[in-house]
Structure 1
């Protein structure tokens, strides 16, 4: 072989040698387990977990280990079929533990729990799960005792639950503030028949107060159809006032058109516009307001602070509830405040309930029952009191409107407040001039 051939062979060998060196370096970075590898559990290649070393009741024996290696201490479970001890009774919650500590099983192996009856648990804990455990006889007695206590507790819980519900409803509606009052009185889509007795000239361009407005159906009808300058609806129930305010927006969105303020597409793109404008207006819905208020004052001294404010005051179907809650003195105070708050020549529209309807509602609370037994100021005495003692000039009996039930067919009366004397003289003077001219 010539020298050139030897040089070429050396170059080729060097190139292949470098490639082999790379492989050797790559393989050198990987860790290989040789036959001298010591398993942590003392196992072998055929048994890496050293399962063969586990003997029943004996400690583990390290197999195929070197002389210098030490055996590892591994705890053997007492029950090989349940190494995690999942069937032990102590797994249950302490509050639902059916077996006492004294009756606990002494044996290390715990038998599985046999579920005798399974009932779904509810939030009110109306029923309890009962389990039967294989053990001493005391466990069964403890389960039965707990079940009897749970039944007694459930009965007491149901009694207090329904008792509190009834009491809460009684206290909630003790002022006659029923949330479905108009649904009981009127049919769907029916107008209140009392509107036919209220003349338009009494309300138009006047200041009106509606006491006990409930959810505001009658108040909204007067505000829209009779065009008052302003009308205020008050009620003692804050929830009903909130519903009445929502009814303003609903009624406004259904029937009111905003012409000239916004394009017609705004309602479709951004929803209906029903907020009150900042500028004062006598047009609906800017002429109606609702407010939570108890109209009965605490004492007679506060009557001196009442000022003339309204031309018309409505008191429809509320005298019974004022009478039962505040007694004779409270109802008299109510009449005097209404008189003091009326403008001269103003009208007080009253719809009193008969005394026969008091007895049923007096059973709602103890306060109503006590006030009912002490009532001496009967509804038939209202007219004489309002004219002779309060100071109304006259009364007009409008009759009883037709209603869905006879209980709502109650007579409506209109009391007129006396005008000042100088106004009466001016009227007489004008009448004399008209007669002379004729």
Structure 2
């Protein structure tokens, strides 16, 4: 659903930005145009406690800053925002109090345009096209966003079904780089790693289409239980600790919450 030449859900080699491949299975960066139809946002957000933000950040400066990497066309980003702020049962179209500001990025500019056009909370949720593995573009976007709030890092990051696309497009080294980046950027990090069977299915789909995008696939040494591998990388190499697992979605993906061991939420003044 989301990666990037990394990040936003997709990308390894620059793709033709002007024209989308008409074959829906040809989404080498996870940039499926109708992702939320087969993995509905409710399948994830229903696993998260509604009071999660207040329990994680009881005295932190507001607004909290969130980063959603690989947001696709924004449906899950909006659902997370509504769920975490308790807005999902409200019919009000008014912008909520400035509790959370969310920056959502994806490598696919067409999906980002859709997200921007349909967002019900444009003052609180920002969508931007970004290849998270492009260090220059990443630094420019993320630094300018954080500086707007006088902050040096995000309070919470969301990495929902992105790790596989980074891994397939950038190899083991790229996955390590990506997770290290998120660990350095976020005080808390919610990760939904794809299991190894999804890697095989993604490679199979592209092979059927005569594509050879995943050049790293057969050389990956990090394989098998990917939830365990991602946990090991974040806890052993990225100065994070596993806080809890919120369970698994109906399509068998774990929701794992990590906390940085080197950063603490900024206290309110």
Higher RCO by CA contacts (8 Å cutoff, separation 6 or greater) = 2
Where 2:213 maps in the other structure, the secondary structure is helix
Matches within 5 A, 1:106-255: 169=23, 173-186=27-40, 192-203=42-53, 205-227=63-85, 228-248=99-119, 252=120
2:221 is aligned to 376
After superposition, the CA RMSD in angstroms is: 3.0
Q: Which runs of 5+ in 2 are unaligned?
A: 1-18, 55-62, 86-98, 147-151
Does residue 399 in structure 1 map to residue 219 in structure 2?
no
Post-superposition shift, 1:245?
A: 1.0
Does residue 326 in structure 1 map to residue 180 in structure 2?
no
1:298-338 CA deviation, whole Å, 9 max, x = no partner? 59xx8xx9784211100111111111111111111110110
1:366 is aligned to 212
Post-superposition shift, 1:192?
A: 1.2
TM-score of the superposed pair, with normalisation by structure 2: 0.68
Q: Which runs of 5+ in 1 are unaligned?
A: 1-164, 253-283, 427-438
CA contact (8 A) 2:48 2:246 kept: no
Where 1:413 maps in the other structure, the secondary structure is strand
CA contact (8 A) 1:212 1:234 kept: yes
CA contact (8 A) 2:180 2:237 kept: no
* 1:315 aligned residue (141, 149, 159): 159
Post-superposition shift, 1:381?
A: 2.0
Greater percentage in strand = 2
TM-score of the superposed pair, with normalisation by structure 1: 0.43
Q: 1:193 to 1:167 in 2, by over 3 A?
A: closer
CA contact (8 A) 2:28 2:213 kept: no
Larger radius of gyration: 1
| Alpha-carbon distance between aligned partners in 2 of 1:340 and 1:347, rounded to the nearest angstrom | 10
Greater percentage in helix = 1
